[in-house]
């Protein structure tokens, strides 16, 4: 094997890779946060008992879960301009990732809500809690507590999926790596370093989420 490994061009571009990693985290965090809000609304829509709304949400979930994320990204970035909606790459990436994340987390949130026993709702009302307090303390928090591991796993999946948005030149780690590769031609070195960065981010967030779990979901509520 005559190939000579040279990681120096990669290390020389560490600032670009660090910025790309930060933008990846920010992109995933924003998309997941908005996606969670949307998924909570959709989950309650599915449980509302309104037949047409439930069917519409089910159709959306099935459509998104059975089409590639890359196609969804291309539709948002290249398709929407046909009807006059033009988005910057980063904005289009967030929109596509939110649409994708919400479809997957809606069913997770719905399962968590359904895990709350109806008797607990009646007990909260009997104790004089307002509807907002019942929703926050008796429905939403226990529901998130039940599905927290699944939600954090979904975040890591979304974090890794952000690499796909490099196809529309959205600023993130893979896009930065592609640019560095185009001027250094050290593909092996660049992508092995990028793979290690993604691996480290995934493990790091898994550790952070595990540490947060006992603090966020103590019971009874200490706050």
What's the pLDDT score for residue 219?
53
Residues 6+ apart with CB under 8 A from 143: 109, 112, 113, 115, 116
Q: Judge whether 185 and 10 are in contact, CB under 8 Å.
A: no
What's the pLDDT score for residue 218?
61
- Given a cut of 90, is residue 178 above it in pLDDT? yes
Q: Which residue has the higher pLDDT, 58 or 136?
A: 58
* φ/ψ (deg, to 5) at 169: 65, 30
- Given a cut of 80, is residue 141 above it in pLDDT? no
- Given a cut of 90, is residue 22 above it in pLDDT? yes
Distance from C-alpha of 129 to C-alpha of 112, rounded to nearest angstrom: 21
- Given a cut of 50, is residue 125 above it in pLDDT? yes
Residues 6+ apart with CB under 8 A from 43: 106, 107, 109, 110, 113
> What's the predicted TM-score (pTM) here?
0.86
Residues 6+ apart with CB under 8 A from 178: 166
Token pair for 86: 């033009």
Mean pLDDT along residues 51-73: 95
Token pair for 185: 């031609």
Q: What are the tens digits of pLDDT across the range 89-108? A: 999 999 999 999 999 999 99
Give all domains of the chain, ordered by start, each with its CATH number. 8-216 (1.10.3720.10)
């Amino acid at each position: 094997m005559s190939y000579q490994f040279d990681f120096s061009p990669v290390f020389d571009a560490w600032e670009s890779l660090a910025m790309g990693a930060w933008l990846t985290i920010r992109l995933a965090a924003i998309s997941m946060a908005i996606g969670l809000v949307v998924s909570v609304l959709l989950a309650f829509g599915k449980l509302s008992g309104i037949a047409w709304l439930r069917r519409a949400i089910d159709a959306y979930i099935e459509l998104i879960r059975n089409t590639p994320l890359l196609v969804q990204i291309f539709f948002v970035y290249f398709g929407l301009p046909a009807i006059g909606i033009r988005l910057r790459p980063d904005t289009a990436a967030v929109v596509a990732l939110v649409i994708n994340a919400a479809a997957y987390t809606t069913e997770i949130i719905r399962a968590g809500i359904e895990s709350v026993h109806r008797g607990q709702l009646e007990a909260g009302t009997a104790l004089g809690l307002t509807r907002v307090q019942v929703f926050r303390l008796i429905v939403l928090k226990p529901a998130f507590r039940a599905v927290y591991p699944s939600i954090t796993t979904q975040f890591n999946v979304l974090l890794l999926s952000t690499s796909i948005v490099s196809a529309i030149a959205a600023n993130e780690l893979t896009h930065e790596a592609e640019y560095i590769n185009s001027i250094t031609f050290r593909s092996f070195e660049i992508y092995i370093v990028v793979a290690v960065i993604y691996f480290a981010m995934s493990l790091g967030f898994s550790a952070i989420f595990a540490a947060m779990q006992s603090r966020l979901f103590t019971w009874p509520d200490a706050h």
